[in-house]
Structures are given as structure tokens and as C-alpha cells.
Amino acid sequence: MTLRNPASWFEIYVNDMERARKFYETVMGVETTKMEAGDFDGEMYTLPMVMGGEGAGGALVKWAHQQPSSSGTIVYFDSKDCEIELARVEGAGGKILQTKSQAGEFGFSCLIQDTEGNTVGFFQKNKNKVVLWRRPRQFTRGKKFLNF
């Protein structure tokens, strides 16, 4: 059995596509690409991705039916060193919410707010250690909790 991460796609909702593109391109040091999505009545720009590659692909999306949010799901982008992205955030119009912090034995993370009001993170993996983590399942039998 091949181990793989279950996430395959994410969307970051924006109000101002040009402002959002400039922010992510500056902070991440990448270029976004316009994506045509059939009958979709919004606007999408993908972040760099490799079809069939590891990790999830995703896009900045301007759509009348979804709005940016600082609460809810948080996407963490892979980082070689969180300090690199953190150094670019405020100059690009964002805010630092959490500086680079130890994430246990897994590595380091930080949280920022983009120009649209979304909370996103960067995650720097501990390259010296591979850790397989699975949240324990909790079942109840009567009043007793069983962890698996």
C-alpha cells in the first residue's frame, strides 16, 4: 500500500484577484496561472502545481458564492524555512498572526493573514525525521472512552 496525503485540491477565496495574486506571488516567490474551468462563473488562478505530483494543488478563486474568511479551514503551504515567507508578508500587505513556532517533532509553522482576510500558514517539515501520524479514533462504550 502506498502512503499518501488525502488532500488533493484547495481554493482560497478572494475579493480582489489582482491584489491577492500580487500578495501570493510576492510572499511565495511564485507565479499564478489563469485557469479556465468550463462553465464556472468565477475567476481562478492556480498556484504552481504538478499534475500527478505529490501534495495538493490549488487556486485563488473569486466567486460570488464564496467569501474570504479568517475562520474555518487553514491551508498550510510547504516551506523550506518559514522565516523566508514571514519576511515578505507585511511588505506585500499581509499581517503576521503567529511567528515561526515549533510544531513538536514535525517541524515549524507560522500563520499569516493575506490581503483578503484569509488565514493561511506555512509549514517547515523536520527533514531529519519522518513521522507517520494518525489521530487516535475514540469510541464510547457506555461511559468509557476507548482510544485506538
Cell 507585511 sits at which residue? 90
| Nearby residues of 124 by Cβ (< 8 Å), 6 or more positions away | 79, 80, 81, 82, 100, 107, 108, 109
Residue 57 identity: G
Cell 523550506 sits at which residue? 80
For residue 135, being part of any structural domain is answered with no
Per-residue pLDDT of the chain (148 residues; tens, 9 = 90+): 667 778 889 999 999 999 999 999 999 999 999 998 888 999 999 999 888 788 889 999 999 999 999 998 999 999 999 999 999 999 999 999 999 999 988 999 999 999 999 999 999 998 765 555 454 444 444 444 444 3
User: Which has the closest alpha carbon to 108: 135, 78, 134, 130?
Assistant: 78
For residue 24, being part of any structural domain is answered with yes
For residue 137, being part of any structural domain is answered with no
User: Which has the closest alpha carbon to 27: 106, 103, 84?
Assistant: 84
pTM for the model stands at 0.80
CATH code of residue 87: 3.10.180.10
Separation of alpha carbons 61 and 80, rounded Å: 26
For residue 95, being part of any structural domain is answered with yes
Domain that holds residue 40: 9-127
Q: How many domains does the chain have?
A: 1
